Amino acid sequence: SSGINAEYGEVAKALFNGQIPASWRRLAPDTLKSLGNWIAHFERRYTQYIEWIEKGEPAVMWLSGLHIPESYLTALVQATCRKNGWPLDKSTLYTTVTQHVKAGDVREKLHNGCYVEGLYLEGGSWDIENSCLRKSKPKVLVEELPILKVIPIEAHRLKLQNTFRTPVYTTSERRNAMGVGLVFEADITTKEHNSHWVLQGVALMLNAD
């Protein structure tokens, strides 16, 4: 009884101070959001799960709404390997940024792979006309990337040119001290040498804090 009361007290104190209670954090994906933004994020996560149950897998997946997004991508590769008879240990993911700005622009699901929305670009900006990375706009630290297409592929078929292998992190903290936080790596088209973007610290995030 005293333990339950102590937990209620901790929740009440956190809510009063506009913070996410620790007992809630343990059951949710990593976040740096304020309480109000976290509640809105929670509601959107709930909606995505309910629609997935009732209508089937969404045509465009909001990865930030998944508790362990890397597991979804792993399952995507595994399902494609089973379907095509590929060896799992010799398969990987290939990505490309589409011309679709919003999820509503996508008319149908991919037969192999998925579309992903809600990725945020830090350290650079996206030139939608030329479909490539460019330097950040003045005073803009983070911008939303157009819809990303994620395609499972046999590793030996992957021949990338003029792309920057961009890390995708859960939050702007990137990795924590334990190295946790990296979700996957995306292939982003560039006309600059990769070293330029490494120095700029280019990365993608699942959350704009």
Report mean pLDDT in 10-residue bins for the chain, 209 residues.
74 91 86 91 95 95 93 94 91 94 91 94 95 92 95 88 93 75 93 93 91
pLDDT, residue 186, reads: 95
pLDDT, residue 3, reads: 60
**Cα 196 to chain centroid, rounded:** 23
pLDDT, residue 2, reads: 58
pLDDT, residue 133, reads: 95
pTM over 0.75: yes
pLDDT, residue 26, reads: 85
3-class SS of residue 44: helix
pLDDT, residue 28, reads: 82
Q: What is the dihedral of CA 43, 45, 47, 49, to 10 degrees?
A: -150
Q: Which residues of 81-104 are buried (b: 16+ CB within 10 A; e: fewer)?
A: beeeebeeeebbbbbebbebeebe
pLDDT, residue 179, reads: 62
Backbone angles phi, psi at 37, to 5 degrees: -65, -35
Distances (CA, A) of 185 to 56, 60, 70, 103, 188: 26, 18, 11, 21, 9
3-class SS of residue 5: helix
pLDDT, residue 178, reads: 64
pLDDT, residue 127, reads: 95
The first and second tokens of residue 113, run together, are 């792979």
pLDDT, residue 95, reads: 95
The span from the CA of 183 to the CA of 26, in Å, is 19
The first and second tokens of residue 114, run together, are 């998925």
